[in-house]
Amino acid sequence: MALRKVLVLNGPNLNLLGTREPEIYGHDTLADIAARLAAQGNALGLDVECRQTNHEGVLVDWLHEARSSGVHAVLLNAGAYTHTSIALLDAIKATQLKVIEVHLSDPETREAFRHLSYVGMAAIDCVKGLGAKSYEVALERAALL
């Protein structure tokens, strides 16, 4: 039987993890995180694919593609688009995908402009504030869906 696929979508500036404000986001690179998720996915019987883009519309396209290719769940760290993107909110609603919102930091304890999450209005779950571990906890939850 084919493994269930989990797509891990990362938005703007997350390609800079490792050097980007490490006091907030930690020292792991996105490649470090992707490698750990792939190994964890193997253990959980999930096929995990990580992607990153700095472009809002590309995230929308990837969500549409995820629906047509029948992915099991999406872990979405939309970066700053979390707080601005009605297009992402609409895409999650339109695709009916099981999306788990992920953040390394806890946006609600930071600046007021990070307190609103459009992604969170349609996501089924959210894991935040655990650093790179947020992705691993989110993948555990995706396996249980």
Largest CA distance in the chain: 46
Smallest distance from the beta carbon of 50 to ligand DQA, in angstroms?
14
Distance CA 85, CA 58 (A): 13
Smallest distance from the beta carbon of 103 to ligand DQA, in angstroms?
4
4 or 59, CB closer to ligand DQA?
59
Binding stretches for ligand DQA (CB under 6 A):
13, 77, 79-80, 82, 103-105, 107, 114
Enter the tokens of residue 80: 């700053």
User: Given 81, 103, 118, 135, which residue is catalytic?
Assistant: 103
User: Given 25, 81, 118, 135, which residue is catalytic?
Assistant: 25
Enter the tokens of residue 4: 């269930």
- CA torsion 142-73-44-9 (nearest 10°) is -100
| Strand boundaries in the chain, DSSP class E | 4-10, 46-52, 73-77, 99-103, 125-128
Confirm whether 81 is a catalytic residue. Answer: no
Confirm whether 118 is a catalytic residue. Answer: no
10 or 95, CB closer to ligand DQA?
10
93 or 110, CB closer to ligand DQA?
110
Catalytic positions, written as ranges: 25, 103
